[in-house]
Amino acid sequence: MKSLIPALLLIFCLAVVSLFVGVSDVSLWSVLNGTADQRQVMILLASRVPRTIALLLAGSGIAIAGMILQMLARNRFVEPSTTGTVESAGLGMLVVLLLAPDMPVMAKMLVAAVFALAGTGMFLAVLRAIPLRSVLMVPLVGIMLGGMISAVTTFFAYRFDLFQSMGAWANGDFSAVLRGRYETLWVAFALTIAAYIAADRFTVAGMGEEFSTNLGLNYRRIMAIGLVIVSMVTASVVVTAGVVPFLGLIVPNIVSMAMGDNLRKSLPWIGICGAGLILACDIVGRTINAPFEIPVGTVLGIIGSLFFLYLLLRRQSRVA
């Protein structure tokens, strides 16, 4: 646990950098010695601080949701965007836009979460019904399911002229996060704490139904709890910032390589690394082509797909 402290310090430094990177000139020094004018303080409090907090919460939440999903599906290659979870949350958002566009954010998030829950449940039901011989088939099935769901979303979005609104969440972007528009992410944070409290159960669930039953654990109940956590976390991130791809895949796999999957030990690391990676990617996206921004979803997509390839190739060479 002690070694977590340097990691937390690193996150803190990244967060400070994130606070002072941007088009408007707000420097750490001017804030500290009180020379910052009112406009600068306003930018800091209304935009930069919410954005940084949102990144931290979303990053740790998605990474932990990815890990839990990997335990529930008993497959290392799944994460919310390869199981139909994200696409289902998107469909839920479309339904809200069509039927009740004036709903408060929290209610939107809940509707998206219910859809995400149904989609992920469907994915796990498919896995149960068709025992797949190859571990690589599992994310492929999930991606296909996600494709079908997003095809439905696209069709209705096109018919009802909501294409632009739906396009906004398809690529995760934290530039529009402002005070008052990110607070649902605290729900995700509360759920990740709940996940940590139940960490041992998820590790046991990762050993399979028979192991869980032997150890006296109600497998169905822990599956249900895990699904609710994954769906709510995913939905809150999708509603706030859009799809953050690959994060839930990369971080759990790296942490697993380094320290294994005893979640009691590894979940804090997964949370911290998730927050750190998304912060770093967001900072890169903001600076590489300044004053324009590259959405964090794009940066993560590039890094994540390369890492996914690495994972696949590593597996191949191990088998051979």
Partner 1 sequence: MIGISGVSKSYGQTVVIDDVSLTLPKGGLTSIIGPNGAGKSTLMSMIARLLPIDRGTVMVDGLDVALTAGDALAKRLSILRQDNHLAARLTVSDLVSFGRYPYSKGRLTDEDRGHIERALTYLGLDELKHRFLDELSGGQRQRAFVAMVLAQDTDYMLFDEPLNNLDIRHAVAMMKLLRDAAKDLGKTVVVVLHDINFASCYSDHIVVMRRGRLFRQGVPEEIIREEILIETYETDFKVRDMDGNRIATFY
Q: Name the site residues for partner 1 (rule: CB under 8 A).
A: 70-71, 73-76, 199-201, 203-204, 206-211, 213-218, 256, 260-264
Q: What is the closest distance, in whole angstroms, from the C-beta atom of residue 120 to partner 1 in the complex? A: 16
User: 59, 183, 176: which is closest to 109 by C-alpha?
Assistant: 183
Q: CB of 103: closest distance to partner 1 in angstroms?
A: 38
- What burial letters (b/e) apply to 148-158, b meaning 16+ CB within 10 Å? ebbeebbeebe
Compare residues 261 and 282 and give the one whose CB is closer to partner 1. Answer: 261
Q: Which amino acid is at 125?
A: A
CA distance 151 to 110: 22
Retrieve residue 141's tokens: 């099935």
Among residues 46 and 194, whose Cβ is nearest to partner 1?
Answer: 194
Nearest Cα to Cα of residue 96 among 87, 108, 78: 108
CA-to-CA dists, residue 39 to 25, 42, 52, 291, 292, angstroms? 10, 5, 19, 19, 21
CB of 255 to partner 1, least distance (A): 10
What type of residue is 297? Answer: G
Closest distance of CB 256 from partner 1, Å: 5
Burial class (CB in 10 A: 0-12, 13-18, 19+), 104: exposed
Nearer Cβ to partner 1, position 74 or 179? 74
Closest alpha carbon to 206 in 135, 261, 253, 255: 261
Q: Is 216 or 291 the residue whose CB approaches partner 1 more closely?
A: 216
CB of 302 to partner 1, least distance (A): 27
Query: The tokens of 46 are what?
Result: 């209304």
Q: CB-wise, 43 or 217, nearer to partner 1? A: 217
* Whole-number Å distance between alpha carbons of 79 and 76: 8
Residues 105 and 238: their CA atoms lie apart, in Å, by 11
Query: Which residue's entry shows tokens 């750490």?
Result: 28
Q: Tell me the closest approach of the beta carbon of residue 200 to partner 1, in angstroms.
A: 3
| Shortest distance, position 211 Cβ to partner 1, whole Å | 8
- Taking the least distance from each CB to partner 1, the nearer of 76 and 286 is 76
* Cβ proximity to partner 1, 101 vs 208, nearer residue: 208
